[in-house]
Amino acid sequence: MKLEDIRKFTLDQLEDELIKLKREQFNLRFQKASSQLNNTARVRDVRRTIARIKTVEREKRVAEAQS
């Protein structure tokens, strides 16, 4: 997911997306542990997308507090 797309989300949408990605990350870890993971790059993509969402969420909360 691109940063431009993430910035368009509201705070509620960001939280929902974060929950969805954390669930996917959990499932990917299970697949990796049981040697069923085919796309190992997906683990990295999910981790980075989670970080992007957290960053944008923080930026929006700080902007709200300053207003």
Parse the chain into domains and list their residue ranges. 3-66
Give the CATH fold of the 3-66 domain.
Helix Hairpins (1.10.287)
Supply the pTM of this predicted model: 0.92
Q: How far apart are CA 1 and CA 47, in angstroms?
A: 11
Helix, strand, coil distribution of the chain in percent, nearest 5: 80, 0, 20
- Give the whole-angstrom CA distance, residue 60 versus residue 52: 12
Is 33 a residue whose pLDDT tops 90?
yes
Looking at the predicted structure, is the pLDDT value of residue 67 above 90?
no
Average pLDDT, the chain: 96
Q: 11 with 61: CB under 8 angstroms?
A: yes
Residue 1 pLDDT > 90: no
Query: The tokens 């990295």 sit on which residue?
Result: 44
Query: Is there a contact between 53 and 18 (Cβ–Cβ < 8 Å)?
Result: yes
